[in-house]
Structure 1
Amino acid sequence: MNEETLYPLRNTHATEQDPQLWNWAHNATLGNRQQLRRPQNEAELQQLVASHHGKIRVIGSRMAPGRMLDIAASGDLLLDLSALSGLIASTDDTVTFAGATLLSDVYDCLTQMDRMLASSPGVISVQTLAGAMATGTHGQGLQQSSLADEAIMIRLLMADGTLREFTPQDSEFGAVQVSMGALGIVTAVTLRTRPAHIYTCFKTALSADTLEQDLPQWNRDFALSKAWWFVDDNQMHVWNAREATAEETQAYQQNNREVVKQNEGEGNSQLNQTIDQTLEHMHRDTQIRGEGGKQFRTVTRFRDFSDVTGDIYQLFCRGIAVPQINVEIGVPLAKTPQIISKIKRWYAENQPHMHYPIIIRCTGASSGWLNPSAQQETCYFGFVVYYADDGTLSEAGLHFLTEVEKLLAAEGGRPHWGKYYNQSLYNWGAIYPQWDAFRALRSQFDPQQKFSNDYLAKLFD
C-alpha cells in the first residue's frame, strides 16, 4: 500500500455545497449528498433501516478517515443521526445518552451534575459518543481504559430494524463495545458515573535518557499521565495528575470552578527553545508562517508552562481539531521499555525528520473484543502530520509515520481504529484473540452485510 493511498491529500476547495459529501478533513468523499438521510427519531430510523436493501453507513461527526464511512453505490445510504442526540435519562450513578450526542455535550452535562466518567477523556470532544466508542477512543491512566468500558448498556438497531439492548451480562457485549459500526447502529448508551474529582496536574520538562524506566513509573504513581517526546532534542514534556488536596480544591472552587494556575506568572521556560525548533519544523512543513494556525497552538501552549488544578475535562480534553494525518499504535505496556529503546536506536541510525513530538498515553486493559487495549495494559504511541495550506503533506513527516508504524506493528502493536494505519502490517487474528468470534457475530447480526463497505469487507472478509 503506497503513501498516497494511506495518507490522501486534502481538497482545499471542497465546500458543503459540493454534490459530493466530504469527510471532515476533506481528504475523502463519502458518497453523493443525495444519498444522505436525516431521520428525526428512533422510530423513523428503524423504518429506514428495515426497508432499505442496500448498504448503510452512519457518518457521525465525519472525523474518521473517509475509508471507514464511504459508500460506493448510488442506491446506498449515508445517515446523519444528529437529531437523535442528548440526554435520555439519569440516575444517581448513571447517564443514558442518545448515540449521536457529541462528547462535548456529554461532558458538559456531567459537569453540571457534578459527575464524571471513570474513563479519562480523549482530547477531541466533537466526536459522537457512539463513534468514539466504536473506534476505541481513550484517554490516559492505568486506573481506567477506554470510553467504551464505561458503558453498562448499549442499544443497537439491528439490520432487520429491530432494537436490542446489550449489557455486560450478555456474551456479545464485548463485541458491541468496539464494533466500528459493523454490527448495527448504536442509538443509546448508558454510562457509569461517579462524583466529579478535581485534579492537580504537574507539568515537567526533563531528559528522555531514562524514559524506559520513567514512563511505567509515572503511570504507576499518578492517576493520569501523558507525555510528549521531542525526539530531536531528547526532551520530554510530561503531565502527571493526582487528585487535588483540600486546599487546592478550595482554591479551584473560589475561582468559580475555572482552572487555577499554580505559581501564576512564574511559568517554566525550560522547553521554550525546543518549542521554537518544533514550530520552525511545522512552519516549514506546512508552508504556513506566523503562529495563527490552530496546529501551532498545540505546541505553543508548552511555552512557559505551569502546574494547574481543574476537573478532568478542563485539564485533559484539550484537543484542537485541525485536519491532520494521525497514526496511533497501542503496544503491550510490559514491552514498552524495550520498544522505547528500539525507537531510540532507530532514530539514532536514521536521523528522520520530526514533524511533531511523539504523544504517549497508557491505559488499563479493556473488555472490548476489538479494543486495542483488549485484555492488556497498553501504551499508545501517537504520531501527527498536519496538512499544509495547499492540502499537501510533508514527505519526510509521512516517511517517519510509515517507518515507525512498521516498528510498532512488529512488536504486536494494535492501531487505533479511528485513525490511519497500514492494514497490510497486521495479522488481526494473531493480535486479537476474539477476532474470529467477532467475524462470526457480524455474519449472524448482519447476514446481508447491510452495514458493510469496502473498508469493513477488507478487514473481515
Structure 2
Amino acid sequence: MARDDLAYPRRQPDQAGEDVRTRNWARNATLGSAGSVRAPRTEDELRELLATTQGGVRVIGSRMSPGRMLSLAAQGDTLLDLSHLRGLVHLGEDRATFAAATTLGEIYTCLSSRGRMLPSSPGVIAHQTLAGALATGTHGQGLGQSCIADSALSVRMVLADGSVAEYEADHPWFGAVKLGLGLLGVVTQVTLRTVPSPVYSCQKAVTSAATLETDLLTWNRDNALSKAWWFPDQDQVHVWTAQEASETEVERYRAGGSVLIEEQVTSAVLNSTVDRTLEHMRGDTKILDEQGKPFQTVNRFKDFSDVTGDVYQVFCRGIATPQINVEIGIPLASAGRVVAAIKRWHAETRPHMHYPVILRATGASDSWLSPSYGQETCFFGFVVYYAEDGSLAPEGVDFLRAVERVLAEEGGRPHWGKYFDEALYDWSALYPRWAAFRGVRAALDPHHRFDNAFTSELFAPTVHPSRDLAGARA
C-alpha cells in the first residue's frame, strides 16, 4: 500500500446494517470486525471485562481520530465503547469531575451555566469525548494556557488487569497519564480545574500577509486569545483578537440573555477571496451540494462581524465534516521563519488550497507528549476535503505532503488526533520525556494490551526498558 494511502486514506461508502462503531467517524478506516465492540455500562463492568478477558483493547471515544490511532491489532481484540460512562460526577467550587465519555460540548454547557470555564480555551469541535480530547492533546488558542489535558487535576483509570488506579497532579507520572494516547489504561473519570468565565470582546479584521512573520507574534503577545486564517493565494489574513469585555459590553451581553452578540456592522472584504478558494475546492472535489458542510466551513468567512460572548460561544464554533486535517506545532519563536518558508514554497508550487492555513498559538504544556510540551507553540493547520466519490484530489495530497515536510524540517510536532506522516519525525528527539513515557507504559501495561499496530511501531524499543523506567521516575 502506498504511503499516501496510509497517511491520507480514501473514504468508504456506508454498508447496510453495519455497526458504525467499527469504523471511524470520517469513514476512512475500519477499526475492528463485526462483534468486536463491547459497551460496559459501569466501571465495575469494565473492570470485570478487563480482568476476565485477554487480547488487545482500544477505546473508540467519538471515533474522530484517524483509524490508525483507534484500530485493533488483531482479530479477537476488543473495541471499547464507553458511551454509558458520561455526565457530571461531582462539582466543587473550583473543580468538576466528569465521566470519561462526556463530550466537550456537554462539559462546556455544564460549566457555562454556572459561570465557569476550563483554564484552557476550547478547540473548534465539541463532539470529542473528554478522555479522547486529553489523550490526543486537543488544544485551543492563547499563550496564557495550553492543551485541555493541562486542566486535569486527577485522572482515574482501569488498568489492563482490571484494577483501578487514580493519579493526581503531584504524582511523578501525571505528565504521562493525562495525555497518554490511550496506552496506559482506560480512563473512566477526570477531575478538571475550573475558573470564572469572563465575557470576551472579539474583534475581527483582514490584513495583508506581507508582515505575517511579525504580526503573528504581536497578535498573540498583545491579546488574551488570538486566532488567524491565512489565505496565501490572495496574500490576506483574517485575524480574531479577543480581550475581556468592558463593563459596558458585559452589561449589554447580560441584558441580552447571555447570548452571543454579533454586531450588525459587517465586512465583505473577504467575500471575493472566499469565492476564489471555493473554486479550488469545487474543481478538486466535484462536490455538488454547495450548501453542504465543506462549503459552509469556508462561506462563513463572508460578511464577518465583531462578536461578544463567553469563550465557548466565541471560539467553539466548528462545523464537523470529514476531511484530512494536518496540524503541526512549531516553537513560537520559529513561527516567523516557518511563515517565510511556506511563502517561498507557495510561490514556487501554487498549490490547490481548499481552506486557509489555520494559525493558533498556545503556551507551554507540562503534558509529556503534548506538541506544546515545554515551549510556547504555534500550530499550523491545513485542510483538504474529500471528493464526492471518497477520493482525494492528487493536488490536495501533494499539497499536504509538501507542506508537512516543510514543518517537520523545522522541528514540528504533529497533533496526535489528526493526520501526519510518521516517517518524517524523530520522536525521541522531539520529546524530551519520550523514554520516560515508555517507562510509565512498561510499568502500567507491561504486556502492551492497549497497543495496536501503529502505537507498537511508534514506541518500538530503542533502549533497555529499565533505562526507560529510570527516566520515568526522574
Q: Which bin holds the TM-score, normalised by the shorter protein? A: over 0.9
Q: Distance in 1 between matches of 2:75 and 2:422?
A: 27
Q: Does 1:403 align with 2:371?
A: no
Residue aligning to 2:303: 304
- 2:283: which partner in 1? 284
Counterpart mapping for 1:297-376 below 5 A: 297-376=296-375
String of CA shifts for 1:231-265, please: whole Å, max 9, x gaps.
Answer: 10000011111111111111111111111122x1x
| Alpha carbons 2:359, 2:381 under 8 Å: kept | yes
- The offset of 1:114, in angstroms, is 1.3
Q: Which moved more, 1:16-25 or 1:389-398?
A: 16-25
| Distance of 2:455 and 2:289 partners within structure 1 | 41
Q: Distance in 1 between matches of 2:17 and 2:377?
A: 39
Equivalent pair of 1:20/1:33 in contact (CA under 8 Å): no
Aligned pairs for 1:435-446 (under 5 A) are 435-446=434-445
Query: Closer, same or farther in 2 for the Cα pair 1:106/1:392, shift >3 Å?
Result: same
Aligned pair in 2 of structure 1 residues 334, 15: CA closer, same or farther (>3 Å)? farther
1:71 aligned partner? 72
Contact 1:21 1:29 in 2 (8 A): yes
Deviations 1:117-165 (A, max 9, x none): 1111011110000000000000000011000000010112111111111
Unaligned 5+ runs, structure 1: none
Q: How does 1:29-428 map to 2 (within 5 A)?
A: 29-262=30-263, 264=264, 266-428=265-427
Q: CA RMSD in A?
A: 1.2
Q: Which moved more, 1:19-28 or 1:37-46?
A: 19-28
Equivalent residue number for residue 448 of structure 1: 447
Name the aligned partner's letter for residue 214 of structure 1. D
CA distance in 1, matches of 2:291, 2:349: 32
**What's the CA shift for 1:19?**
8.8
TM-score, L = length of structure 1? 0.98
Question: Secondary structure at the residue paired with 2:156?
Answer: strand
How many Å apart are 1:355 and its aligned residue?
2.2
Tell me how many residue pairs correspond in the alignment. 459
- CA distance in 1 between partners of 2:192 and 2:135 (Å): 14
How many Å apart are 1:74 and its aligned residue?
2.7
Q: Cα gap change, 1:247/1:15 in structure 2, threshold over 3 Å: closer, same or farther?
A: farther
Match of 2:25 in 1: 24
SS at match of 1:29: coil
Alignment partner of 1:43: what SS?
helix
Quickly say closer, same or farther: Cα 1:374–1:442, change in 2 above 3 A. Answer: same
Distance 1:320 1:300 in 2: 11
Moved more, 151-160 or 134-143: 151-160
**SS state of the match for residue 22, structure 2?**
strand
**Could you tell me how far apart the structure 2 residues matched to 1:113 and 1:351 are?**
49
Instruction: Tell me the secondary structure at the aligned position of residue 206 of structure 1.
Output: strand
For 1:176, the aligned partner's letter is V
Deviations 1:416-451 (A, max 9, x none): 000000000000010000001111211111111111
SS at match of 1:34: coil
Decide whether aligned partners of structure 1 residues 112 and 282 sit closer, same or farther in structure 2, where only a CA change above 3 A counts: same
Structure 1 residue 18 displacement after superposition: 5.4
The structure-2 alpha-carbon separation of the partners of 1:151 and 1:18, relative to structure 1 and needing over 3 Å to count, comes to closer
Larger mean CA deviation between 281-290 and 125-134 belongs to 281-290
Distance in 2, matches of 1:99 and 1:69, equals 16
Aligned partners of 1:126, 1:444: CA distance in 2, in Å? Answer: 32
Structure 2 contact 73–451 (Cα < 8 Å) conserved? no
Identify the range of structure 1 (274-283 vs 371-380) with the bigger mean alpha-carbon deviation.
Answer: 274-283
Measured after TM superposition, the shift of residue 49 of structure 1 is: 1.0
* Conserved 8 A contact 2:21-2:37: no
Query: What is the SS of the residue equivalent to 1:440?
Result: helix
Amino acid in structure 2 at the alignment position of 1:65: P
Letter in 2 for 1:157: V
CA distance in 2 between partners of 1:218 and 1:294 (Å): 29
Equivalent pair of 1:20/1:32 in contact (CA under 8 Å): no
CA distance in 2, matches of 1:165, 1:23: 29
Query: What code does the residue aligned with 1:111 have?
Result: S
CA contact (8 A) 2:57 2:449 kept: yes
Deviation at 1:321, TM superposition (A): 0.9
Change (3 A) 1:120 1:18: closer
TM-score normalised over the length of structure 2: 0.95
Q: Percent of counterpart pairs with the same letter?
A: 55
CA distance change for structure 1 residues 276 and 432 in 2, over 3 Å: closer, same or farther?
same
**1:342 match: secondary structure:** helix
CA distance in 2, matches of 1:380, 1:327: 10
| Contact 1:360-1:379 at 8 Å conserved across structures | yes
Residue 31 of structure 1, CA deviation = 0.6
Give the whole-Å Cα distance in 2 for the aligned partners of 1:118 and 1:20: 32
Q: Secondary structure at the residue paired with 1:365?
A: coil
Letter in structure 2 aligned against 1:347: H
Deviations 1:299-354 (A, max 9, x none): 11111111000111111111111011010000000111111111111111222222
Distance 2:227 2:370 in 1: 20
Return the alpha-carbon distance in structure 1 between the equivalents of residues 454 and 85 of structure 2. Answer: 26
Give the whole-Å Cα distance in 2 for the aligned partners of 1:242 and 1:15: 50
Which segments of structure 1 move beyond 4 Å, counting only runs of 4 or more?
none
Asked if the contact 1:99/1:188 (under 8 Å) is kept, the reply is yes
TM-superposed CA distance for 1:12, in Å, is 2.3
* SS of structure 2 residue aligned to 1:152: strand
Q: Which residue of 2 aligns with 1:13?
A: 14
1:212 maps to a residue whose letter is E
1:209-242: CA deviations, max 9, x gaps?
0000100000011111000000100000111111
Separation in 1, partners of 2:386, 2:198: 37
How many Å separate the matches in 2 of 1:220 and 1:338? 17
Summarize the Cα distance change of 1:312–1:16 in structure 2 as closer, same or farther, 3 Å threshold.
Answer: farther
Q: Write the distance in 1 (CA, Å) between the matches of 2:21 and 2:95.
A: 40
